[in-house]
């Protein structure tokens, strides 16, 4: 499964009401570090398919959701479980660090 594009309109359905954990990547087209981690998140989406959904939300196309969750810098990754934000990381990280974070939060790697 590849990454899932979410918007302000689909956030509740695709993230908050999801049956499995969802990692949301808040990003923008002009953000260099965001582009840097995009292929890594695509790989993780494939490797952990069925255990976690990797979703991407463009902060310029959908500004109200990042505002609601206090996103101040990008890339920001938030992990949602059972409709609640359970963990957050700001900044680009290597694949190993993202997988380590997911393991620490209970998403098996």
Known catalytic residues are 31, 34
CA distance to 18, 41, per residue, from 23 (Å):
11, 9
The DSSP 8-state label assigned to residue 48 in this structure reads: T
Residue 74: which of 30, 7, 26, 6 has the closest Cα?
26
Residue 66: which of 42, 74, 53 has the closest Cα?
74
Half-sphere exposure (Cβ direction) of 79: Cα atoms closer than 13 Å: 18
């Amino acid at each position: 499964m590849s990454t899932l594009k979410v918007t302000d309109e689909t956030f509740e359905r695709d993230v908050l009401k999801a049956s499995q954990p969802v990692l949301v990547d808040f990003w923008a087209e002009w953000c260099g570090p965001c582009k840097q981690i995009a292929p890594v998140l695509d790989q993780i989406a494939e490797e952990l398919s069925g255990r976690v959904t990797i979703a991407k939300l463009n902060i310029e196309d959908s500004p109200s959701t990042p505002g609601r969750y206090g996103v101040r810098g990008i890339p920001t990754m938030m992990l949602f479980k059972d409709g609640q934000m359970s963990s957050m990381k700001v900044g680009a990280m290597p694949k190993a660090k993202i997988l380590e974070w997911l393991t620490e939060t209970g998403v098996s790697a």
